[in-house]
Amino acid sequence: MKPYDGEGFAGKALRERGGTVYRFDREQLRLERGGEFRAFPIAWLFGAGHFARTPVLSVDGRWVEHRLSWYAAPNRLSLTPGHSPQPSSSWEESVGVVQSEKNAARCFGCHMTANRPGVHCESCHGAQGEHPVAKTIRRDRSVAACAGCHRSPLREYASPAPEMEDPLSVRFAPVGLTVSRCYVGSRRAKQPLDCVTCHDPHADAGPRASYDAQCLSCHVRRARAACPRGPECASCHMPKSTPLPYLTFTDHRIRKPD
Amino acid sequence: MFTLPLLLLLAQLDLYEQGTAYLRAGRLPEAEAALRRHLEAHPGHWEALANLGAVLSRREDYAGAIVQYRKALALAANLAPLRLNLGLAYFKQREWGKALPEFDLFLAAQPGHRQALQLRALTLLELERYPEAAEAFSALRPADATVDIGLATAYLRLGRPAAAQSILAPLLERGDSPEVLLTVGQALMAEDRLEEALEAFGKARRLSPALPTLRLHMGAIHWRNKRVAEAIAEWRGELAQHPESAEAKFTLGSALAQSGGDRMEAERLLRASLKQKPRHAKANYQLGKLLWQAKRNGEAVSCLEAAVNADPEYREAHFLLGSVYRALGRNPLAEREFAAVKRISAKQLSAQQDLFSEPQ
pLDDT tens per residue across span A200-222:
888 888 888 888 888 988 887 66
Average confidence (pLDDT) over B207-225 = 92
Mutation test of the interface with chain B: which of A89, A106, A179, A246, choosing the one with the most B Cβ atoms within 10 A? A89
- Alpha helices per DSSP H over chain A: 91-95, 101-111, 121-125, 139-150, 162-165, 173-177, 181-185, 195-198, 212-226, 233-237
Whole-model pTM over 0.80:
no
Distance from CA of A238 to the nearest CA of B (A): 18
Instruction: Check CB contact under 8 Å for A79 and B356.
Output: yes
Q: Is ipTM beyond 0.85?
A: no
Closest residue of chain B to A18, computed from CA coordinates: B355
Cβ(B93)–Cβ(B276) under 8 Å?
Answer: no
Average confidence (pLDDT) over B267-274 = 97
Q: What is the mean pLDDT of chain B?
A: 87
> Angle B240-B241-B243 (CA atoms, 0-180°, nearest 5)?
65
Helix or strand or coil: residue A31?
strand
Instruction: Check CB contact under 8 Å for A97 and B351.
Output: no
Distance from CA of A86 to the nearest CA of B (A): 8
**Chain A residues near residue B352 by CB distance under 8 angstroms:** 78-79, 85, 244-245
**CA A148, CA B225: separation in Å to the nearest integer?**
16
Q: Which residues, other chains included, contact A76 with Cβ-Cβ below 8 Å and sequence gap of 6+?
A: A12, A70, A246
Q: Is the pLDDT of residue A163 over 70?
A: yes
C-alpha dihedral sign at B13, B14, B17, B20: negative
- State the distance between the two ends of chain B, measured CA to CA, in whole angstroms: 94
Average confidence (pLDDT) over B202-228 = 91
Instruction: Check CB contact under 8 Å for B289 and A159.
Output: no
**CA A179, CA A153: separation in Å to the nearest integer?**
9
Instruction: Check CB contact under 8 Å for A93 and B160.
Output: yes
User: Which DSSP state fits A205?
Assistant: -
pLDDT for the residue B114:
87
- A11 pLDDT band (50/70/90 cuts)? very high
**CA B154, CA B140: separation in Å to the nearest integer?**
14
Strand partners of residue A44: A3, A56
The torsion angles phi and psi of A58, rounded to 5 degrees, stand at: -110, 110
Query: pLDDT, tens digit, for every residue of B71-113?
Result: 999 999 888 899 999 999 999 888 889 999 999 999 999 998 9
Q: Is the pLDDT of residue A126 over 70?
A: yes
**Highest averaged pLDDT of the listed ranges A50-54, A231-235, B353-357:** A50-54
pLDDT for the residue B1:
46
Q: Is the pLDDT of residue B281 over 90?
A: yes
**Cα–Cα nearest to B90, from B112, B114, B122:** B122
- B270 pLDDT band (50/70/90 cuts)? very high
Q: Is the pLDDT of residue A156 over 50?
A: no
Average confidence (pLDDT) over A241-253 = 88
- Alpha helices per DSSP H over B76-129: 80-92, 96-109, 114-126
